[in-house]
Each structure stands twice: as C-alpha cells, then as structure tokens.
Structure 1
C-alpha cells in the first residue's frame, strides 16, 4: 500500500534547520542574523478528515526548510475548515498568523509574501482586493482560484472576481500543473487571462507533466525545477528594493 499524500517526500531535499512551534504557527528561522523577509505559507484546504496537522507533512516541512535556506523566515499556519462555507475561519487564522510573523523581532515587517497551495487559493481574495503596503507579492501553487461546482462559497472567497475588482493587485507567482483537474485548470486560465487584461504582473511557472500535488507526487527534474523557480521568484520579490 502506498503512502498517504502527507507521508510522501518533498521533491527536493533542503538542509533541515530549527523549527519553532508558536501555537498554530510553525516558524523556520534562517541562519542569517538581523531582520529578514518572511513568507507565510497557507496549506491546502479543506483537508481529509483523517489528515494530520499539515505542519507535520513532509511537503510543507520541505518548503519551510527550502525558504529558510534562502535567508527568509518561513511560517506555516495551521488552518482549519470543514466545508467551503466555513472559509471565514481559516481566513481569520491566516490573518492572525501574519500578524504574529510580522511582530517577530527577526522579521522585517515590511517585506512579507503569502504563498497559497491548492484549496487555500480561495483565500487570495482578501489580499487581492485590499493589499497592505507591506505585502510584496503573492504566490500560489496549483491553486483553486474559483469555487468548484456545487461549493457554497461567500463572494469574498472568489479570487477571479477579487482580481477584477482590485485597484492595485500585488504581483503574483503562479505555478500551474499541466495535468491539473479540468475544473481547477479552468479557473486558473480565467485568472491568468484577467490578470493580463488588467496588466497585473503574474509570473507563470509551468509544470507541463505535473499533477495537482506534483511537488510530492512527481519526483522528476521538471518538478524540482518548478519548485526552485517558484522559490527564486518569491525571494526576488522580497529582496527587490
């Protein structure tokens, strides 16, 4: 029997470092001293009923180590939601995590990026409509950018509509899986088209042979290159004056 997704190895093997658990947020501090930029990671939601804490998944632990290796403070917030109608709860949890991270004395509070995965992509709406001045950008990997058919979702959590309404959306780094589920891929394509129409800067990183979850499921050179490219793009947004 194969491993569950949360037991599947990350496609890269970054050096491990210290991990600090602060209530519902895990911090991955870099070796470098001084105030460092930060990336707050929002894991996929909603989770299967039997899923363990995502902060313990090999995938997200890998991303935390990968970002810390580059001199950023990585933070992984534990988000809880049972159904799409309950998205206000993880949205509030994420905002609280961001406040905790920005208040940490090791973090430069004016250089922060939020990185969304899978279903947490629906939480992008708040940050697209009203981006705070310290938000250097947003990243999304195989994100859900429109509710799936039959999902009862508050209009607040519709990133495509949020982008259309935004006056000054921040730059985005979007990783697109070529073998994505059609109902997710359609929302991604519509989002990219709307960004192009509005002139919103979006760096698209394509993984032509990648599945949803390619960064754990598809251990290929293509997957590894895509993860590195996304990381590098995020770090570039954080370090650009």
Structure 2
C-alpha cells in the first residue's frame, strides 16, 4: 500500500526532542526543566485537511521533525492542529492559531518576547493577519511553499490576503522557501508577495529549491532538500536568538 504524501518521513534524520502535549499544542524542547527561557517557533500546517484524517498534522513525521529540529537549534518548537478542513474554515483556523500562539507564549521555559511563526502550504493565508498588525514579540515569519493569495471561497477574503498585508513597512524579517515544481496556482501569489515586500523595504530572504516539489521536506529526500531545510531553520534560529530591541510583551 502506498504511503500517503503527508506520512513520508522528514528529509532530515534528527533525534526526537522531548514532546509535551498541552491542550491544543505540542511542545518540543531539549530540556523542559532548563531555567533559561528560550525563543519559540510555532509551526502552522497547511490544508485543508479532512476532518476525519488520522493522524492529525502535529503527529505527522514532517512536523515531528520540524519540532525536533527547532529544539536542536536551541528553540522551543510548537505544533498545533488548527482545524482548517475547508475554505470556509480559515476564520476558525486563524482564531485557533492565535489561541495556540498565546498558549505557547505562556509555556514555562518559553521567552514570550521572542516568538516566530512558520506557515506551510495552505496555511500561508493565515500569515496575513500577523503581517497586517505585528505584535512586538513577533520576531520573524517563515513561509514554506505557501499559498499567499486569498483562496477561493474564503469569507472576508481581505483578512487572508498575505500579499496585501506585506505591502507596508515595519514588518518583521520574512523567510520564503519556494520550490521549482510548485503548484502553478501558488506561483503568482508567491511572486507578488516577494515583489511587494521588496518594493516596501520589508526584509525578506528567499530560499529556492529548484528541483523541489510542493512538500519537498517530506517528498524529496535529496541533498538539495536537506540543505534548504537546514538553511531555513538556521535562519529562523539566528533571527530569534538575535539580541535586538524588545518591545512590550503584550502578554
């Protein structure tokens, strides 16, 4: 029997981190008893994902891998099942992500003033609200093979227009990972997003994976894929560990 795409192993061989399930989130860390607070990165899976699908995204090999990789880079990795089951669920998923982020910031051992958000695939439109109104503790936004235009059938589409949201100076640093064998429908939004960010002076780093397909981090077990994922996590970790000005926590 063929393995479903979402159940392929993560492209990096990384030792599992200590994982705690706290309500709606899973927390990955190397030492949950450490006294020093660590930055956190919240991984926002794509979709839509069928409501009855098992296992759910936070138990997929890809997100177990990302959580462990974040921990190995001195971060606290956080995953969440946000409930994006159809186009009409974007508002619900957005609220669930916000709740998960606040829950993650309150976890013991997390520095609530140093948090990054990492969006994947169909989760990309959920980045729009964070880019439109940036809290002072949001230190970076990463996007992997994302959809960034408003998805068809989404109510209140402007709320999920990441291209429009990025077109204002003052955004946090952004990382975009693009693949050469992308779904054609996703490409115009990605290109428009990069153009808008650069036109408005938003710091954006782009990692291109020329031979990668959508979901390359589990589907393409190549040196190119491993290099891209390592480079992306290194960027996120360096950005979150950097000592810059810290605003009010807003906690």
Q: TM-score, normalised by structure 2?
A: 0.92
SS in 2 for 1:189: helix
Distance 1:220 1:48 in 2: 29
Q: Secondary structure at the match of 1:209?
A: strand
2:10 is the counterpart of 1:7: no
Q: CA deviation at 1:209?
A: 0.3
2:123 paired with 1:112: no
Q: 2:46 aligns with which of 26, 44, 47?
A: 44
How much has 1:84 moved relative to structure 2? 1.5
Given candidates 77, 86, 98, the residue that maps to 2:89 is: 86
Q: Provide the C-alpha distance between the structure 2 equivalents of 1:120 and 1:91, rounded to a whole number of angstroms.
A: 9
SS in 1 for 2:171: coil
Displacement of 1:88: 1.1
Helix, strand or coil at the partner of 2:141: strand
Rounded Cα–Cα distance in structure 2 between residues aligned with 1:195 and 1:115: 17
Query: Alignment partner for residue 238 of structure 1, among 234, 237, 240?
Result: 240
Unpaired stretches in structure 2, ≥5 consecutive residues: 244-251
Structure 1 gaps of 5+ residues are none
The root-mean-square deviation of aligned C-alpha atoms, in Å, is 1.3
Matched residues in 2 for 1:92 and 1:152: separation? 15
SS state of the match for residue 208, structure 1? strand
Residue 54 of structure 1 corresponds to which residue in structure 2?
57
| Conserved? CA contact 2:173–2:204, under 8 Å | yes
2-side partners of 1:190 and 1:51: how far apart?
33
1:144 is aligned to 2:147: yes
Q: TM-score, normalised by structure 1?
A: 0.95
